[in-house]
């Protein structure tokens, strides 16, 4: 008897650096979060660390090495593996949904915006994963991209936008303890309220409406994946929740689930 796939939510998560694996609280939060979600048939990831136009599909074959897109870390972070199955069928569905030209990069493995959180959420690496590029940083274009991908939710695909709710590496606190800087707290709270109020227009115009936006995001690449997840969630009942809260070295690790 054929099993009907559960309709999946969409997620925007703050993915952390490779050092995330050393943070017991954060890894527990991600593991607990995935435990509250039905098991997906596949995961489709848009990461802050891959911009390429037109939209480009990552590797779909099994066994393609990870993309270690970071420098200067101890060797153990480059020894991490995450051998999730490829998702060629999902890649073809994405081609059919997004419209327009779609490229493929058959040798680009998952980058750390994808495999770092997924290793905590699905540690057995037994869920097929497809990463696609962000073809633009324009919020409206990314919202539309999410809307086009939304039908995948009914096939059990978990759509994940992986970024960071505040992301300023130059200004981030070097102390694990102590209060987060005011700019990070203010932007995080504004984002929380805008998502809770379903104020899509405000979110799309965050660079002008959010407090401390230029400090929280000197470049918008880590906030941009939110719009893919948000767009894919607009066809539901528009329920949302903050699934992860708190700060890491002063950066807001707030993450959202859209139903």
Whether the bond into 54 is cis, omega within 30 of 0: yes
Retrieve residue 211's tokens.
């407090």
CA dihedral (70, 9, 232, 133) in degrees, to 10, reads 20
| pLDDT tens digits along 216-259 | 999 999 999 999 999 999 976 678 999 999 999 999 999 999 99
Residue 73 has pLDDT above 80, yes or no: yes
DSSP conformation letters of 60-81: -STTPPP-----S--GGGTS--
Specify the pTM. 0.96
| pLDDT tens digits along 113-135 | 999 999 999 999 999 999 999 99
Per-residue pLDDT, 17: 85
Q: How far apart are alpha carbons 188 and 226 in whole angstroms?
A: 13
Per-residue pLDDT, 48: 98
Q: Class of 10-178+219-258 per CATH?
A: alpha beta
Element containing residue 18 per DSSP (H, E): none
Q: How confident is the model at residue 1 (pLDDT cuts 50, 70, 90)?
A: very low
The structure tokens 């805008």 sit at 194
| pLDDT tens digits along 3-20 | 578 899 999 999 988 988
Q: How far apart are alpha carbons 240 and 259 in whole angstroms?
A: 6
Mean pLDDT (the chain) is 94
Q: How far apart are alpha carbons 173 and 169 in whole angstroms?
A: 9
Per-residue pLDDT, 176: 63
Q: Please report, for the chain, the start and end positions of each structural domain, with discontinuous segments joined by +.
A: 10-178+219-258
Per-residue pLDDT, 2: 46
Average pLDDT rounded to a whole number, residues 96-116: 96
Across 94-116, b (16+ Cβ under 10 Å) vs e yields beeebeeebeebeebbbbbbbbb
Beta pairing class for 129-134 and 42-51: parallel
Per-residue pLDDT, 175: 61
Average pLDDT rounded to a whole number, residues 98-118: 96
Per-residue pLDDT, 90: 98
| pLDDT tens digits along 20-57 | 899 999 999 999 999 999 999 999 999 999 999 999 99
| pLDDT tens digits along 164-179 | 999 998 887 766 677 8
């Amino acid at each position: 008897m054929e099993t009907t796939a559960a309709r999946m939510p969409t997620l925007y998560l703050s993915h952390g650096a490779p050092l995330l694996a050393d943070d017991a609280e954060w890894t527990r939060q991600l593991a607990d979060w995935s435990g509250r979600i039905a098991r997906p048939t596949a995961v489709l990831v848009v990461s802050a660390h891959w911009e390429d136009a037109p939209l480009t599909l990552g590797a779909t074959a099994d066994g393609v090495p990870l993309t270690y897109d970071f420098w200067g870390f101890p060797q153990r972070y480059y020894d991490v593996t995450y051998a999730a199955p490829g998702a060629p069928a999902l890649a073809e569905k994405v081609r059919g949904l997004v419209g327009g030209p779609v490229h493929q990069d058959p040798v680009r493995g998952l980058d750390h915006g994808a495999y770092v959180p997924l290793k905590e959420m699905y540690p057995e690496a037994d869920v097929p994963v497809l990463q696609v590029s962000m073809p633009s940083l324009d919020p409206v274009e990314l919202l539309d991209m999410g809307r086009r991908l939304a039908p995948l939710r009914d096939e059990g695909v978990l759509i994940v936008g992986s970024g960071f709710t505040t992301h300023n590496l130059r200004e981030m606190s070097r102390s694990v303890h102590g209060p987060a800087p005011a700019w990070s707290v203010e932007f995080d709270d504004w984002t929380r309220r805008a998502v809770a109020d379903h104020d899509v227009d405000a979110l799309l115009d965050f660079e002008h409406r959010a407090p401390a936006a230029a400090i929280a995001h000197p470049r918008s690449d880590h906030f941009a994946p939110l719009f893919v997840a948000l767009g894919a969630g607009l066809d539901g009942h528009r329920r949302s929740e903050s699934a992860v809260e708190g700060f890491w070295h002063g950066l807001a690790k707030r993450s959202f689930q859209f139903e």
